[in-house]
Amino acid sequence: MALNDTDVTDAALAILDEYGLADLTMRRLADSLGVRAGALYWHVSNKQTLLAGLVTVILDGLEEPAGPWRAGLAGWADALRSRLLAHRDSADLVATMRAIGMAATDLADGPAACLTGAGLEPERAGLGARTLVHFVIGHVNEEQQRVQLGPLAGEDAPPVPSGAEDFRAGVGLLLDGIAAQFP
């Protein structure tokens, strides 16, 4: 029975979750599908668009921020963090794809629209939105990296409290900064 395109994406996501981004190679993915590496290129044009597809799946169903801007953005940031934490190395993956420019529908668009809707001028809204997205991705990236390094590093781990409360505090700090931008 022949492979279909979603089989490939699903298998790639499984490898990502179990072995991490560094071990997600085309050859390994082919192995897990019982096929030779070259066969993958019938279903996907190259590795980069495959990874972009993973990002789409990971972020699928993330709703735009709604309601009063402050609570809306806080909830949206929480939801984004949850989706990222659900898949190993996803923050790293998303950061890489954003850097390459493949953001498809850019993550910051929703928050930016939320802020302009609340009366902030577009430039400041865009800045606040991008800063928020940076923070979420950066924070989750640290959280996910710590999981990988945790077993290695001894009890002398860096004094980074982290976790959900640290995240919320950081978001609160940012929202305070954004609040100060309003006229």
List of residues contacting a second copy (CB under 8 A): 92, 95, 99-101, 106, 123-124, 126-128, 130-131, 134-135, 138-139, 141-142, 145, 149, 153, 158-161, 166, 169-170, 173-181
Contact of residue 151 among DNA, a second copy, none (CB under 5-8 Å per partner type)? none
The tokens for 115 are 């802020």
Q: How far is CA 113 from the centre of its chain?
A: 19
Contact of residue 6 among DNA, a second copy, none (CB under 5-8 Å per partner type)? none
Assess contact for 106 and 61: CB atoms under 8 A. Answer: no
Distance CA 26, CA 45 (A): 12
Closer by beta carbon to DNA, 28 or else 168: 28
The tokens for 18 are 């179990």
Closer by beta carbon to a second copy, 35 or else 174: 174
Binding site for DNA (CB under 7 A): 2-4, 23-28, 30, 34-39, 41-43, 46-48
Which amino acid makes up residue 139? Answer: H
Which amino acid makes up residue 171? Answer: V
Contact of residue 106 among DNA, a second copy, none (CB under 5-8 Å per partner type)? a second copy
Task: Please tell me what DSSP assigns to residue 22.
Answer: G
Q: How far is the CB of 81 from a second copy (least distance, A)?
A: 14
Contact of residue 141 among DNA, a second copy, none (CB under 5-8 Å per partner type)? a second copy
| Alpha-helix residue ranges (DSSP H) falling in 86-162 | 90-100, 109-117, 122-149
Q: How far is the CB of 3 from DNA (least distance, A)?
A: 4
3-state secondary structure of 163: helix
